[in-house]
Structures are given as structure tokens and as C-alpha cells.
């Protein structure tokens, strides 16, 4: 549960920092974004992405749609926007990602924030597989390609710039 809470909190803080008003919906999407993983075989989820076979990765990539299906099946009342954020949290602005690979301009800005928070949380999580980095270093790493590449990466270049602009202030507060 730590991952969902951390992603939710970080996405909300980023939204507040750049002036996005749907903070409650972003927070809710962050809490629910990975519940579909519960429907996947544990042996697939326990592996790092680089260790999964192509078939296992394809199964893993169904979890955003499974999350939405679980919310509907349990009759959890959330907005369509929250459902879209959950469905899009692994999509990438440059057209990669999953499950649908829509053009970057079709991704909600809130979905992109959720994706940033998800990636930062993965980098800052304590794990036996890798060295941990602090949140500001992780954010700069995650956003750097998007900020300098006209084709974008994880998020649009303009969103990356907006987030990177608030990091010096966060650095001052933390440091």
C-alpha cells in the first residue's frame, strides 16, 4: 500500500506546485491506479520488468485496464476523469507505454502527473535491486528527457518544464 499512497501524495504535491486544480481526483487516481495488479499472477508482479518474458510483460501491461474493470465491478464511484487517469498512467507522451499508446496530446495532464509520480516513487523506493536516490534527483532524472526532447518522453516538454521550474524551490525547502 505504500506505493499507492506515495504516488498519490506526490502527484497531488506536483499538481499543487504547478497550479492544477483537480488535486482530489489526482489523489484518488493515485490511490487506485494499481489495484488491477491484484488480478495478476504474483510470480509476474514480483519480477522486475527486465526479468519478465514478453508474454509475462504483456500480461503485466493489462493492469491499468484491470484496475478500471475492478472499480466498475465493485461499483466504486469515481469520475470518468479518474478512470482515464488510471487507464493512462503508463502511457507516454512520445507514444510508447501501454495499454493504448494514444498520441501525446490525447493524454490528460493529470495522467502525465500520475506517470511522473509513479516513476519518481519507483526510483526512490528502497530495494535490494538498486541504489536509492532522493526525490529531487529522481524528479530531475525522470523529467530531463521530456524537457529537452521536442518529441517528448514521459510527459510533454511544457509539463516537464513546469515541474522542473518548481524543483529549485523544493530543493531550497528540503536543503
Render pLDDT for 39-58 as a digit per residue (tens, 0 to 9): 999 999 999 889 999 999 99
Query: Are 114 and 30 a contacting pair, CB within 8 Å?
Result: yes
Is residue 146 very low, low, confident or very high in pLDDT (cuts 50, 70, 90)?
Answer: low
- CA nearest 3: which of 30, 26, 28? 30
Would the pLDDT of 147 be above 80?
no
pLDDT at 152: 56
Is residue 175 very low, low, confident or very high in pLDDT (cuts 50, 70, 90)?
Answer: very low
Is residue 31 very low, low, confident or very high in pLDDT (cuts 50, 70, 90)?
Answer: very high
Is residue 132 very low, low, confident or very high in pLDDT (cuts 50, 70, 90)?
Answer: confident
- Count of residues in the chain: 175
4 burial type by CB count under 10 A (0-12 exposed, 13-18 middle, 19+ buried) = middle
What is the percentage of the chain residues whose pLDDT exceeds 90? 65
Would the pLDDT of 137 be above 90?
no
Is residue 29 very low, low, confident or very high in pLDDT (cuts 50, 70, 90)?
Answer: very high
Query: Are 12 and 116 a contacting pair, CB within 8 Å?
Result: no
The helix or strand, by DSSP H or E, that contains position 7, with its residue range, turns out to be: helix 2-18
φ and ψ at residue 24, rounded to 5 degrees:
-65, -40
- CA nearest 54: which of 44, 46, 63, 40? 44
Is residue 135 very low, low, confident or very high in pLDDT (cuts 50, 70, 90)?
Answer: confident
CA distance 20 to 85: 14
pLDDT at 48: 86
**Average pLDDT for 100-126:** 92
Query: Are 56 and 76 a contacting pair, CB within 8 Å?
Result: no
Would the pLDDT of 169 be above 90?
no
pLDDT at 1: 73
Supply the pTM of this predicted model: 0.89
pLDDT at 61: 97
The C-alpha cell of 154 is what?
Answer: 514521459
Amino acid at each position: 500500500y505504500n506505493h499507492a499512497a506515495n504516488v498519490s501524495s506526490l502527484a497531488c504535491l506536483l499538481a499543487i506546485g504547478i497550479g492544477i486544480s483537480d488535486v482530489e481526483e489526482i489523489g484518488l487516481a493515485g490511490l487506485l491506479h494499481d489495484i488491477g495488479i491484484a488480478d495478476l499472477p504474483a510470480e509476474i508482479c514480483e519480477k522486475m520488468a527486465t526479468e519478465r518474458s514478453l508474454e509475462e510483460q504483456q500480461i503485466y501491461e493489462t493492469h491499468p485496464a484491470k484496475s478500471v474493470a475492478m472499480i466498475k465491478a465493485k461499483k466504486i464511484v469515481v469520475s470518468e476523469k479518474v478512470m482515464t487517469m488510471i487507464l493512462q498512467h503508463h502511457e507516454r507522451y512520445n507514444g510508447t507505454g501501454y495499454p493504448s499508446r494514444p498520441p501525446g496530446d490525447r493524454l490528460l495532464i493529470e495522467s502525465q502527473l500520475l506517470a511522473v509520480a509513479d516513476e519518481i516513487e519507483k526510483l526512490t523506493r528502497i530495494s535490494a535491486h538498486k541504489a536509492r536516490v532522493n526525490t529531487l534527483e529522481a524528479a530531475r532524472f525522470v523529467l530531463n528527457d521530456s524537457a529537452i526532447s521536442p518529441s517528448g518522453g514521459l510527459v510533454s516538454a511544457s509539463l516537464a518544464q513546469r515541474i522542473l521550474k518548481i524543483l529549485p524551490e523544493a530543493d531550497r525547502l528540503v536543503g
